[in-house]
Amino acid sequence: MKSLYLLLTVFILNAGSAFSQDAKAQGILDKLSTKMKTMKSFYIEFNATVKNASSGANENETGKGWVKGNKFYASYGDNTIISNGIKTWTVIKEERSVYESDATDDEDGINPKKLMTIWETGFKNKFDREDKLNGESVYVIDLFPKVPTKAEYHTIVLYISKTENELKKAVLRAKDGTVMTYSMTKFTSNPEIDDKKFVFDKTKFPGYPVIRD
């Protein structure tokens, strides 16, 4: 009976700890979401790596992103993604092609707007630990899909600055073994961005067919 009591006590303590960790994670993420929602626009620069041990993939690229409301423009290596909030155009330089899709169909893709708000829908969260990232104090929070069978990623790890209340790094672990790491190197809130930035101009890509995705 005493052993059973001890086991039950440990279970209750652990359950309480898990609950407090989730509550702490949600509080941190809510604070970050509130900050992001107050911005009319933002600009980011990032380093990105894509690795997969099975396929041998090991890619490194730098990128930039401009976001204004539900519009965004992103450059990633030689590729460009432009969205006016209604349509999205993905320019693949290697293929010399442009893929057009409805903005509402961009659920699986990563763009700067989604990257900076990825925790808001479709994921459970858990506070992992406090740590240091490039000498800066950060919170480390794990995200897990609420519906794993419909999700591309099984885990996402976020590193959030304690002092600046900003996302500094995101590690996306896909089911096929691919690990994508986005490290933010610059973040500017509320820059002036001309709406022309989010207009796709076919004349800038001569010889590129526009393919409806």
Contacts of 19 (CB under 8 A, 6+ apart): none
* Conformational region of residue 77, where left means phi above 0, alpha means psi within -120 to 50, and beta covers everything else: left
Q: Is 51 within 8 Å of 60 (Cβ atoms)?
A: no
**Residue ranges per domain, the chain?**
2-85+103-192
Residue 149 in tokens: 């069978």
Q: Is 137 within 8 Å of 162 (Cβ atoms)?
A: yes
Residue closest to 189 by CA, chosen among 44, 53, 21:
44
One pLDDT digit (tens) per residue for the chain, 213 residues: 434 334 444 433 344 444 444 889 999 999 999 999 999 999 999 999 999 988 888 889 899 999 999 899 999 888 999 999 999 999 999 999 999 999 876 665 678 888 888 898 889 999 999 999 999 999 999 999 998 888 888 999 999 999 999 999 999 999 899 999 999 999 999 999 999 999 999 999 999 999 987
pTM greater than 0.85: no
CA end-to-end span of the chain, whole Å? 64
Q: Is 171 within 8 Å of 142 (Cβ atoms)?
A: no
**Calpha distance 100→108 (Å, rounded):** 15
The pLDDT score that the predictor gives to residue 109 is 64
When the candidates are 2.60.40.1180, 1.20.120.1760, 2.60.260.20, 2.50.20.10, the CATH number that belongs to 2-85+103-192 is 2.50.20.10
